[in-house]
Amino acid sequence: MKGIGAPPRIVRWLLRLLWPVIAIVVTVICVPLLPVAALLSLVDRRARLFRAVGLILITVWLDLQLHLGCWRLWLTERGSPTWHGDHEKLLVDVLDTVLRVGRKWVNFEVVLDNTMDFGEPDRPLLAFARHAGPADSLAVAWLLSRTAGRLPRIVLADALRWDPGIDLILTRLGSSFVPSLSGAGDDRLTGVRRLADSLAPKDALLIFPEGENWTPERRARLIDRLRERGQAARLRQAEGLRRVLPPKTNGVIATLTARPDADVMVIAHAGLGNLTGPRALYDAIPFDRPFLVHTWTYAASTVPREPEAIGAWLADRWAEIDAWVSAHE
């Protein structure tokens, strides 16, 4: 996403109008492929092509359901006191369906490695998660909403505004789209601070501090850049982490300093992190291992709030994630 910026406002509006047409075009292309893929399943007993085409179709129509649901609420519920809650219900219902379909079609199953502790019920929760593998952000958001009863506000790349369903509903729910392109400066933190300041006691904020999905190639490129720039301390950190990228501290510092009252959850996951490209993803269908999740929760009083201390604390947490993932991936 780093090289893709958000669409201009006029393009966003055109996408919102044209999305049903795009969904129909994708359907017209994919439906004839289904019987062909079904026949090929006689050769490929894992039915990978059939599962992949079917999953594409279902995903497109679930995204359209999200998109049309937002328009329906705009037409019927504007100004209603249930406006925010209705959008939360729409998103959670679609996430439920996505996870249920993913389990049936490609054996994508979320499994907890330990009991999740969501901190004190009268405090907001800041969740910092590993970023790797397919659909990890959806799985973590769904897990927080269904297990904790806290639909998280999410900090995500503004390139995702190219999807009008995600753009509409997450904008209305108050998530923050940070600039995907480099050179954005403090603009990346403005929305993060706004979200942190606005958290109610039962709210959660979800951040992926690595900023992009881990892959071996990204890790190698990052190490090369750090070596060229002579950033010795960060280079040592990057070389010591095998299964995660070094976390970026600015967003974490912004949230922790803005909300000293918030408890903190650190989220690791393993099982599908090695699926780092379309070919690897296709070859692994249906998945033979679950999306395994492990969490650590820290009371607000135990988490540092000074920027330098936060950086050291976050580095220690990511070293723990790396060790856990290395043992379970």
Q: Is the pLDDT of residue 185 over 60?
A: no
C-alpha 182: how far from chain center? 20
Domain ranges for the chain, please list them: 9-328
Closest CA to 19 of 169, 139, 155, 152: 169
Residue 247 DSSP SS3: coil
Count Cβ atoms within 10 A of the Cβ of residue 90 and give its class: 0-12 exposed, 13-18 middle, 19 or more buried: buried
Tell if the pTM clears 0.95, that is, is over it.
no
The 10s digit of each residue's pLDDT in 59-100 is 999 999 999 999 999 999 888 899 989 999 999 999 999 999
The 10s digit of each residue's pLDDT in 252-308 is 999 999 999 999 999 999 999 999 889 999 999 999 999 999 999 999 999 999 999
Average pLDDT estimate for 120-140 = 93
Question: How far apart are alpha carbons 152 and 138 in whole angstroms?
Answer: 11
Q: 9-328 sits in which CATH class? A: alpha beta
Q: What is the percent of the chain where pLDDT is above 90? A: 76
* Omega before 286 within 30 of 0, i.e. cis: yes
Return the structure tokens found at 312: 């050291």
Average pLDDT estimate for 98-124 = 93
Using an 8 Å Cβ cutoff, are 99 and 142 in contact? Answer: yes
Exposure on the CB side of residue 325, measured as CA atoms within 13 A? 26
Average pLDDT over all residues of the chain:
91
Which has more pLDDT, 192 or 111?
Answer: 111
Question: How far apart are alpha carbons 86 and 80 in whole angstroms?
Answer: 10
Q: Is the pLDDT of residue 184 over 60?
A: no
First to last CA, the chain: 24
Using an 8 Å Cβ cutoff, are 145 and 95 in contact? Answer: yes
Closest CA to 325 of 288, 274, 264: 274
What single-letter DSSP state applies at residue 114? Answer: S
